[in-house]
Amino acid sequence: MGAPARAAGSLRRIELEFAAAGGRTVLRHAYAEPPFAIRPLFDLGGGLAHFILVQTTAGLFGGDALSIDVRVRPGARAIVTSQAAQQVHPAVRPEAEATQDVRVRVDRGGEFHGCFEPVIPFARARLAQRTALDVEAGGRLFWAEGLMAGRVARGERWQFTRLAVDTALRCSGDLVYLERFVLGENGASPDTPWAMGEGTYLGSLLACAPEIDTGRVDTLQAALFPPSSDPGAAAVRGAVDLPAPGVLAGRVLAADGAAFHRVQHAWRAGAFAILLQQPVPALRP
């Protein structure tokens, strides 16, 4: 008798705990199992630190289970970015599903910026991605993630078998945003006009901070999404809104990678310049 599908993959995790010490943000605790790696924490000044999430393999395969746990203690200010897109490969056993669980907790007085390259599910891939974001009262979180239709240049547009996404944001203990969807199971094509249309990148933007108000969100909307008369407007569509006081939720639909990354860079800059009204830090490459 063969082993269960899960046994064919790897179960690996990374744990990061950021804390304030001497006016800086440090890694109080860091633990990683391959394919994750702990790399140096870059001090950006102003108590802000940058950590690059590195994986040393080609991506996720069926049966793999990755776990990412982040804790931001009071006074710590951390930016975490991914080194590259998360590629999801087909499994040897068609029913084997890869999973990726992300958990972030921001304590009162802590600040976290998570900005990640998109997930790219290859043809016949199966992935379940669960993200739990928990921000205590007085904490700040700014989040950006996305997915790609597949290896479009190789003709793999929407050819993955199943993609399930579950993202929950809790602020001060209250569930303020919940996003759940499954693609690939019911046979419905994401290419329809009411869904993705011609878009190949889908992104989500989330934020929870006391400074967020209607005026700043309106300014951010204009910075992220150019008016229809702008030459680049056709390549990207989207909007941001206030589902609850101090909470921002946005959606991005982009025709190509260049447009998607322009919005992500504008979001990272806007989180500081527009929402926090602080200088935009220069990240380490």
The model's pLDDT over 194-235, given as tens digits with 9 standing for 90+, comes to 677 788 999 999 999 999 999 999 999 999 997 765 666 678
Structure tokens at 270: 């806007």
pLDDT at residue 58 tops 50: yes
The model's pLDDT over 87-117, given as tens digits with 9 standing for 90+, comes to 999 877 878 999 999 999 999 999 999 999 9
Mean pLDDT score of the chain, rounded to an integer? 91
> What pLDDT, on a 0 to 100 scale, did the predictor assign at position 9?
56
The model's pLDDT over 64-86, given as tens digits with 9 standing for 90+, comes to 999 999 999 999 999 999 999 99
Structure tokens at 67: 């776990």
Dist. CA 236–CA 233, nearest whole Å: 6
> What pLDDT, on a 0 to 100 scale, did the predictor assign at position 188?
67
Instruction: Report CA dihedral (65, 150, 167, 240) to the nearest 10 degrees.
Output: 160
How confident is the model over 155-166, as a mean pLDDT? 91
| Prediction pTM value | 0.92
Write down the domain spans for the chain. 6-276
